[in-house]
Structure 1
Amino acid sequence: MYMSKSYDICMRDDGILVFTITRPDKRNAVNFEVMAGLNEAIQLANETKVKAFVITGEGEEAFCSGGDLGEFHQLKTEEQAYQMLIKMGELLYQLAMLSKPTVALINGIAIGGGCEIAAACDIRIARKGIKAGFVQGKLAITTGWGGGTILLERVQHSAAMKMLLEAKIYSFQQLIDLGFVQYIYEGDRWEGLRNNLDFIFSLEDTVLTAYKMMFVRKMRLLDLKERIESEIRQCALLWEKDAHHKQVDKFLNKKMTDQ
């Protein structure tokens, strides 16, 4: 087990490696420490003893609320933003291309970058009643970790464009209808994981890897890495614009007023 104040990495007896964001007071927002932990977990997931890699959030309120605006809002210029975005973009690329099945165990709301993380996973299992949305457009930027590019490979093109352009939070049923969520659970998340993914536990890891590599080979042919890089560059360009900083200031001020 690997732990910090921001994340936890745990290898379960059933061969599932779990990465948990442990910042419930920040709605499990991503900071640089979470990035470092995710990198560590992805490297561990490459080990042959791992059957699947699961990402989740601590508590019942949030899976991940995206990037920590309090921390990342200090990044003002295009280049400053790019350095952060490319770091996380590389992690999501590695996550998408991992040779093991990857699962987003969505225990609560997923917003912005939280949806990008979920999209990078092969399978999304969600607690009944959760909400999620790619809301980046409301902050005058695009997806910037590669999640928009990956989303176009996960769901139908029309559904992906709808989610990105509307930039709103969807209900649980809407997420199912859009094809973003494949499995649901109620009650204990680990029981929900096992009940929904019993097929993973029943198959040999060599079979799981062979099927996952079919997707990996396809994504290599479709230049996924280069497309993610273009997405990140576009987001960094918009990041330094006044429109983005004004929207973030507005959001942070509203948050302080609501407290």
Structure 2
Amino acid sequence: MAVRCEERLAGDVWWVEVAREERLNAVNAEVMAGLEEVLSRAERTPTLRVLVVGGAGRAFVSGGDLREFAGLRTREEVEAMSRRMRRILERLEALRCWTVARVNGDAYGGGVELMLAFDMCVMAEGARLGMTQGRFGLTPGWGGLTRLVEKVGRARALKWLGCAEVLGAEQALAAGFVEEVVEKDALDVRVMALAERLAGCEPEVTAALKAGARRALEEPRDVAMEGELEAFCDLWVSEAHWERVERFLRRKG
């Protein structure tokens, strides 16, 4: 099984691993199918609060499997593959729950494109990442160029891509590419602790925050703020909000 999924915290957290250790978890058709299956289940599970994805063994995801994809020789074939994987990342990005990349090891090319689709990334010390498609005469093909510009800015993204740079974990943190760097042996504990904190957020609040963050990137400022106000008002009159308010007031006496 190329993608494994374990339910934790009474099903609030799904712990997913890309498991092709012999190929450093490179993405192939089997991995795509596994991710699609997990996403389909997640989309049908409104109680899911956090989706964590990492790699098995010593790598996160090393990129696309060039040995398998080398068989794609026509434009139509490569476009079908690229659109399929881009759709997977769009579905990941659109999930209403929180998504966390558990970057347990190196990530290159398409593996970095996968990282960019998560809400946040926690990276192990000693891991490296690189948008190295240029070494193979390519640009990112799964939406990674656009997401990288959104994440770190135009000039830095172009430098990394143009030079096919490989970054260490601390460099990635300083550039704002990842949100945390922790010791490798402590990674799973830290990611699970983060997932537990995120799981305490009401699903409606999570969805509203993610939608608002997307509007802030894509819409004019006044439109984004109007959407923020609408979400706040909807949540204010919700049952979940008043349950928490009443619990707080009772505790304060």
Q: TM-score, normalised by structure 1?
A: 0.78
The worse-fitting range, judged by mean Cα deviation, of 63-72 and 183-192 is 183-192
Residue 142 of structure 2 aligns to a residue whose secondary structure is coil
| TM-superposed deviation, 1:197 | 4.7
Is contact 1:86–1:145 with CA below 8 Å preserved after alignment?
Answer: yes
Matched, 1:193 2:158: no
- Find the counterpart in structure 2 of residue 129 from structure 1: 126
Structure 2 counterpart of 1:50, one-letter code: L
Matched, 1:9 2:8: no
- Find the counterpart in structure 2 of residue 43 from structure 1: 40
2:159 to 147, 159, 162: 162
- Find the counterpart in structure 1 of residue 93 from structure 2: 96
- Find the counterpart in structure 1 of residue 251 from structure 2: none
Matched, 1:145 2:142: yes
- Find the counterpart in structure 2 of residue 203 from structure 1: 201
2:78 to 68, 78, 81: 81
Structure 2 counterpart of 1:124, one-letter code: C
| TM-superposed deviation, 1:220 | 6.3
Q: Cα RMSD (Å) of the superposition?
A: 1.8
Q: Distance in 2 between matches of 1:64 and 1:146?
A: 16
Matched, 1:52 2:50: yes
Structure 2 counterpart of 1:99, one-letter code: R
Q: Distance in 2 between matches of 1:159 and 1:99?
A: 30
Change (3 A) 1:219 1:82: farther
Is contact 1:106–1:124 with CA below 8 Å preserved after alignment?
Answer: yes
Q: Please list the CA deviations of residues 93-149 of structure 1 after superposition, one character each: whole Å capped at 9, or x if unmatched.
A: 111222222111100000000000001111010011110010001100100011111
Matches within 5 A, 1:238-257: none
The worse-fitting range, judged by mean Cα deviation, of 193-202 and 170-179 is 193-202
1:213 to 190, 211, 214: 211
- Find the counterpart in structure 2 of residue 257 from structure 1: none
Structure 1 counterpart of 2:97, one-letter code: K
Structure 2 counterpart of 1:133, one-letter code: G
Is contact 1:63–1:109 with CA below 8 Å preserved after alignment?
Answer: yes
Q: TM-score, normalised by structure 2?
A: 0.80
Is contact 2:130–2:166 with CA below 8 Å preserved after alignment?
Answer: yes
Matched, 1:67 2:64: yes
Structure 1 counterpart of 2:54, one-letter code: T
| TM-superposed deviation, 1:198 | 5.1
| TM-superposed deviation, 1:42 | 1.4
How many corresponding residue pairs?
217
Residue 167 of structure 2 aligns to a residue whose secondary structure is coil
The worse-fitting range, judged by mean Cα deviation, of 42-51 and 11-20 is 11-20
Instruction: List runs of 5+ in structure 1 lacking aligned partners.
Output: 223-259
Structure 2 counterpart of 1:179, one-letter code: G
Structure 2 counterpart of 1:36, one-letter code: A
Which protein has greater RCO, CA pairs closer than 8 Å, 6+ apart? Answer: 1
Q: Distance in 1 between matches of 2:32 and 2:214?
A: 22
Instruction: List runs of 5+ in structure 2 lacking aligned partners.
Output: 221-253
- Find the counterpart in structure 2 of residue 110 from structure 1: 107
Q: Distance in 2 between matches of 1:166 and 1:52?
A: 35
Is contact 2:128–2:166 with CA below 8 Å preserved after alignment?
Answer: yes
| TM-superposed deviation, 1:19 | 2.3
Residue 36 of structure 2 aligns to a residue whose secondary structure is helix
| TM-superposed deviation, 1:215 | 2.8
2:180 to 176, 180, 183: 183
Larger Rg: 2
Q: Distance in 2 between matches of 1:106 and 1:113?
A: 14
The worse-fitting range, judged by mean Cα deviation, of 173-182 and 153-162 is 153-162
Matched, 1:22 2:19: yes
